[in-house]
Amino acid sequence: MKAVLFDYNGTLFFDDDINREAWEATIDEISQGKINAKEFYETCIGTINYTLVTQLFEKLGLPLDEEKIMYWSIRKETEYYHKICRKLGRDQFVPGAEDLLNYLKEKNIPFTMCTASLDVNVDFYFELLKLDRWFDRNTVVYDDGVSHNKKDMYLEGARRLGVDIKDCLIIDDSPSSIRNAVEAGCENLVVIKKDNNPDLPQIRQRIRDFREFDYSLLEK
d(CA 108, CA 95) in angstroms, rounded, equals: 22
Residue 205 confidence (pLDDT): 97
Residue 27 confidence (pLDDT): 97
Domains of the chain, by residue range, sit at 3-13+92-219, 16-88
- Going by C-beta distance under 8 Å and a sequence separation of 6 or more, which residues neighbour residue 125? 8, 13, 117, 131
Question: How far is residue 101 from each of residues 133, 138, 181, 209, measured CA to CA in Å?
Answer: 9, 17, 21, 13
d(CA 85, CA 153) in angstroms, rounded, equals: 25
Three-class secondary structure of residue 122 per DSSP: helix
Residue 162 confidence (pLDDT): 97
CA 134 from centre of chain: 17
d(CA 120, CA 64) in angstroms, rounded, equals: 22
Per-residue pLDDT of the chain (220 residues; tens, 9 = 90+): 999 999 999 999 999 999 999 999 999 999 999 999 999 998 887 778 988 999 999 999 999 999 999 999 999 999 999 999 999 998 899 999 999 999 999 999 999 999 989 999 999 999 999 999 999 999 999 988 777 789 999 999 999 999 999 999 999 998 989 999 999 999 999 999 988 889 999 999 999 999 999 999 999 7
Three-class secondary structure of residue 173 per DSSP: coil
The CATH number assigned to the domain with range 3-13+92-219 reads 3.40.50.1000
Residue 194 confidence (pLDDT): 86
d(CA 126, CA 180) in angstroms, rounded, equals: 25
d(CA 58, CA 166) in angstroms, rounded, equals: 38
The residue type of 194 is K
Residue 74 confidence (pLDDT): 95
Count of beta carbons in the 10 Å neighbourhood of residue 118: 22
Residue 45 confidence (pLDDT): 79
